[in-house]
Structure 1
Amino acid sequence: MERYVLGIDLGTSAVKVSCLDHSGKIIDQEKENYPVYNSAEGFCEQNPNDWVQGTLEAIKKIMIKIRNLAKIDGISFSGQMHSLVILDKNKEIIRPAILWNDGRTATEAKYINENFGKKIVEITGNKATAGFTLPKLLWLQKNEPNNFARIRYFMMPKDYVRYKMTGKINTDYSDATGTIMLDIAHDCWSNEILNFFKVPRYYCPELVNSTDFIGFPLHEVCGKTGLNQDAKIFAGGGDNAVAAIGSGILNSQNILCSIGTSGVVLADEKSPHTPYEGTLQMEHHAIPEHFYSMGVTLAAGESLSWFKNTFFPQKSFSDLLSMAQESNLGADKLFFTPYINGERTPYSDSFIRGSFTGISNTSTKNDFCRAVIEGITYSLQDLISIYEQNNKTIYNIISIGGGAKSKFWLKLQADVFGKNIVALKNEQGPGIGAAMIAAMGCRWFKDWNSCINVFVKYNEIIAPDPHNTALYQKYYHLYHKIYNSIAPLARAATRL
């Protein structure tokens, strides 16, 4: 009987479950969508039980296909980071989860940075931004004190799904660093931070490594999905850490560029002590004793989804990419800034909003399509520039997510970044990485490099065109000036 592992990638819009064998071959992948609720401007929430239902349904579909042919050896997780799930003493959900891209906590983030100063960076490796978990807890303290008082446990999204599958509550170090409550150098919850901000220590879940064995699936989970009861479930990690594993980012001078709902640029780091001083996030890797830095643009793929749903609801994303190819490089001098949810890196500004700049009577639908795609890519160049300014050597950029599904967009990334771009043969980096954590937990491999050599498969290298890169540098220079021009207008607009 064949033996497989499952990688569960709990994203913002959908859960994707990947089934892989010993050779790293993808046997099956299933996806289940769920909604995001926007009850007010800047609010982004989800029902955690939607994640559970979607995950179990996707597993069930896989098990129907492989039943009587294979067993699942191990299961692990990749999950959207920073989002806040709170449970009461009966382990029941208190309120909808507040997501990573929810912008309501700008005031709380500012309060943390102003009142805790440089110590927040010294302890956690990060400045406070609206996306992190601690500002969400402070928002609840102030705006929903009854709910705050009822909290017995907080956790991240993948931790809640794992709890519903195993009955065990904990979180791993990679997700814990995204709360800005973890002492990153000493691998423990920071009593200094918790005491200062009056967050009870008992709210914080037990800390585990991403490869730690948590338990076996509950009887009712096996009944709903068809899982075998001896499938081992491992902790997993935050989506970016797990995507780095699934993309082979380990002790290398390659960096990761992920274009999903958000956009992420990520690099492996030898220690939590870096020169970035909070401009880039510092996080625990999902691999024990490793770290990574990353910058985040909040609305990458989400900007393209917004544009499509608002202006071209009948067209597919492929249609939009084809239209963009009909426009010239630079989109006829039309620029788009993807700040529709505010921005995290490098500006940490919850008030900024997106814009089109340079509209003329010659601007076409094709130009608008290309401007959105170029604007998203420019925002990622903002992140790459921080690494370059700190003398980070970059050989190749591994591209994953929606931006890696299109040869046109991959080539555009190469030209804008002026770097070689490499795509995975399967661009689902987080799902593959979660399966790799399960494989390592099951001791399929002696070390991570052996696992990466089997599971991570690359396509050909896409090299930049020097002529295009030179032109894009000029356009990017103009794009980079737009933020400072529109930021005062955006702040004034919030006061109306």
Structure 2
Amino acid sequence: MKYVIGIDLGTSAVKVLLINQQGEVSGEVSKSYPLLTEKSGYSEQNPEEWVNKTIKALKELIAGFDGSSENIEGISFSGQMHGLVLLDKDHQVLRNAILWNDTRTTKQCQDIYELVGEDRLLTITKNPALEGFTLPKILWVKENEPSIFEKASTFLLPKDYLRYRLTSQIHSEYSDAAGTLLLNVGEKKWSSEICDAVGLDINLCPPLLESHDFVGTITPEIASQTGLSEATKVFAGGADNACGAIGSGILEEGKTLCSIGTSGVVLSYEESNDRDFQGKVHYFNHGKEDAFYTMGVTLAAGYSLSWFKDTFAANEDFDVMLHGLEDVPIGANGLLFTPYIVGERTPYADALIRGSFIGMDASHKRIDFARAVIEGITFSLNESIEIFSESRKNIDSIVSIGGGAKNETWLQIQADIFNAKIQKLSSEQGPGIGAAMLAAYGCGWYSSLKECADIFTQSVKIYEPIEENVKKYKELFSLYKLVYQQTKELNKKLSRFRK
């Protein structure tokens, strides 16, 4: 039996999956690492943590594998998007990585609009200038840490840095590069026009590959540290959302994904790059060659629920905290939550907005608040679905993965709020599965990613929307949308009191 490994480099942990030719998960190891939040709005990580924890995870995975490491043919990657890793001419890391959920770069986003032009930026990159993207981070370092920037020779995205450390090869690939604001998404090349406009040397940008392209084999040092064979092939991999799409079978027109991890996304497959959403949702290159996807983002989806647990149920697991969720009526007994606890992305590109509980009552119990948090996260994701529907995209069936796919009640809430059939897969680890699929396709196991998906992805249950619930949630959704407008100015004034 042959195997591949999918490495999913997330925001809070790296997950390593061993998968056989039947698409079965034969081993799984996860290792967490800290988030560094020096100031409000700052979010960083030490790239060395990614490397050390990945090596430990691979070593543990191989130690528990009862076959020969020679039978593990390939490795590929999924990774958190947008993060900035700056390297000097010797490929040494110059500073901590600045992550996707860092919001310090509001000024730099405005600078990009002034230098490039808002319409021109949308034409080239298909995306607006938002704090989470990579280019604003580069410009922030250039402006605020000039001595560091002067030493910079290249930048990498997080999973590209990890792959470099495993192979000694410097590359990026299109699905991750699309989230930098430096890629011409339609032409699939770094934009010299944008680089010139903002004063960056285009040579700072690494060479580009397709997600399934062969990069090289692992280094002897990595083989020695992990127990893998030196012949193990390494493939480029993709952005976490692109890999989530691959691992969920979102590989043809009409397919839509809801993924609830730290952030939450609603992602829809696109055959071409000619649809115009006017920057309301993201438009990225897919991990599938010459395909695209559109995507709306809730910055703090699963993170909102994790925050709630850590704050109010620190010593309980999620199942205990959510016990009785199904008994709480729709609307959480008159309680609304907006998940803007780190700002918001879609449909409000607002770094200053913050979350709210609206309608708190002395009769509310903790489980009411938990239900309100879950409904609020889902309402936020529904705003992306609303944008897709308004552009005449038909969203009537959605694959759900991530934390939101682990709870039966939450899956039904998604069906009712989205007013769509929700498909639960046999494995909800879409990004890691997608990374493994890229390795399997790269190794030549299958003639296409679609053929691979037919083996690797299986639907195990369908949740149908309940008409009565749909009506109630439509009414609540209209109230939910009022909260942003009525708290926007208040949160802006409160921002000066934050640390």
Query: How would you bin the TM-score normalised by the shorter chain?
Result: over 0.9
Aligned equivalents of 1:382, 1:320: Cα separation in 2: 27
Report what 2:382 is aligned to.
381
Distance 1:147 1:57 in 2: 30
1:114 positional shift: 4.1
Match of residue 132 from structure 1: 133
1:434-478 alpha-carbon deviations (Å, 9 max, x no partner): 000000000001122211111111111110111011101100110
Tell me the residue number matched to 1:208.
209
Q: Read off the aligned partner of 2:415 and give its amino acid letter.
A: A
Aligned partner of 1:304 in structure 2 is: 305
SS at match of 1:322: coil
Q: How many residues align?
A: 495
User: What CA distance in whole angstroms lies between the structure 2 residues aligned with 1:318 and 1:67?
Assistant: 32
Q: Shift of the alpha carbon at 1:103?
A: 0.9
CA pair 3-191 structure 1, distance change in 2 beyond 3 A:
same
**Contact 1:253/1:395 (<8 A) preserved:** no
Q: List runs of 5+ in structure 2 lacking aligned partners.
A: none
> What is the rounded CA distance, in whole Å, between the counterparts of 2:281 and 2:76 in structure 1?
27
Q: How far apart are the structure 1 equivalents of 2:355 and 2:397?
A: 30
The C-alpha deviation readout for 1:312-360, integer Å capped at 9, x for no partner, is: 1112111222243342210111111110110011110001011111112
For the Cα contact (< 8 Å) 2:322–2:367, is it kept in 1? Answer: no
The residue aligned with 1:410 is 411
Output the CA distance in 2 between the equivalents of 1:113 and 1:476. 33
Distance across 2 between alignment mates of 1:275 and 1:74: 38
Alignment of structure 1 residues 32-181 onto 2, 5 Å: 32-66=31-65, 68-70=67-69, 71-115=71-115, 116-181=117-182
Counterpart in the other structure of 1:23: 22
Question: 1:31-79 CA deviation, whole Å, 9 max, x = no partner?
Answer: 1111101100011100111111111111111111225445211110000
What stretches of structure 1 move > 4 A for 4+ residues in a row?
none
Question: Which shows bigger deviation, 216-225 or 386-395?
Answer: 386-395
CA contact (8 A) 1:108 1:135 kept: yes
Give the secondary structure class of the aligned counterpart of 2:323: helix
1:285 equivalent in structure 2: 286
Q: In 2, distance between residues paired with 1:380 and 1:321?
A: 20
1:358 equivalenced with 2:349 (yes/no): no
* Alignment correspondent of 1:7: 6
Q: Report if aligned partners of 2:346, 2:384 keep a CA contact under 8 Å in 1.
A: yes
Q: Provide the C-alpha distance between the structure 2 equivalents of 1:179 and 1:89, rounded to a whole number of angstroms.
A: 21
Partner amino acid for 1:199?
L
The correspondence of residues 436-447 of structure 1 with structure 2, limited to 5 A, is 436-447=437-448
For the 8 Å contact 1:323–1:370, the answer to whether it is kept is no
Q: Is the 8 A contact 2:213 2:235 kept in 1?
A: yes
Deviations 1:139-175 (A, max 9, x none): 1111111111111110101001100000001100000
* Separation (CA, whole Å) in 1 of partners of 2:239 and 2:141: 23
Identity %: 46
Q: Deviations over 1:7-52 (max 9, x none)?
A: 0011001111111111111111111111101100011100111111
Amino acid at match of 1:100: W
Deviation per CA, 1:219-267, whole angstroms, max 9, x where unpaired?
0100010001111100001000011000000113120000000000000
Q: Does 1:199 align with 2:217?
A: no
Counterpart of 1:419, as a letter, is A
CA distance in 2, matches of 1:189, 1:275: 21
For the 8 Å contact 2:19–2:26, the answer to whether it is kept is: yes
Contact 1:125 1:283 in 2 (8 A): yes
SS of the equivalent of 1:150 reads coil
The answer to whether the 8 Å contact 2:382/2:417 transfers is yes
Secondary structure at the counterpart of residue 331 of structure 1: coil
Aligned to 1:465: 466
CA distance in 2, matches of 1:110, 1:482: 26
Give, in whole Å, the separation in 1 of the partners of 2:22 and 2:332: 44
Which secondary structure does the structure 2 equivalent of 1:76 belong to?
A: strand
Q: TM-score, normalised by structure 1?
A: 0.98
Alpha-carbon shift at residue 275 of structure 1 (Å) = 2.0
Whole-angstrom CA distance in 2 between matches of 1:421 and 1:140:
43
Query: TM-score, normalization: structure 2?
Result: 0.98
SS in 2 for 1:332: coil
Mapped partners of 2:490, 2:23: distance in 1: 51
Whole-Å Cα distance in 1 between the matches of residues 479 and 187 of structure 2? Answer: 43
**How many Å apart are 1:363 and its aligned residue?**
1.9
Question: 1:191-210 CA deviation, whole Å, 9 max, x = no partner?
Answer: 11001111111210001111
Match of 1:340 in 2: 341
The answer to whether the aligner puts 1:321 opposite 2:334 as a matched pair is no
**Matching residue of 1:392:** 393
SS of the equivalent of 2:150 reads helix
How big is the alpha-carbon RMSD for the aligned residues of Structure 1 and Structure 2? 1.1
1:171-197 alpha-carbon deviations (Å, 9 max, x no partner): 000000100100112111101100111
* Alignment partners' CA distance in 2, 1:102 and 1:298: 11
Question: In structure 1, what is the Cα distance between the partners aligned to 2:338 and 2:394?
Answer: 27
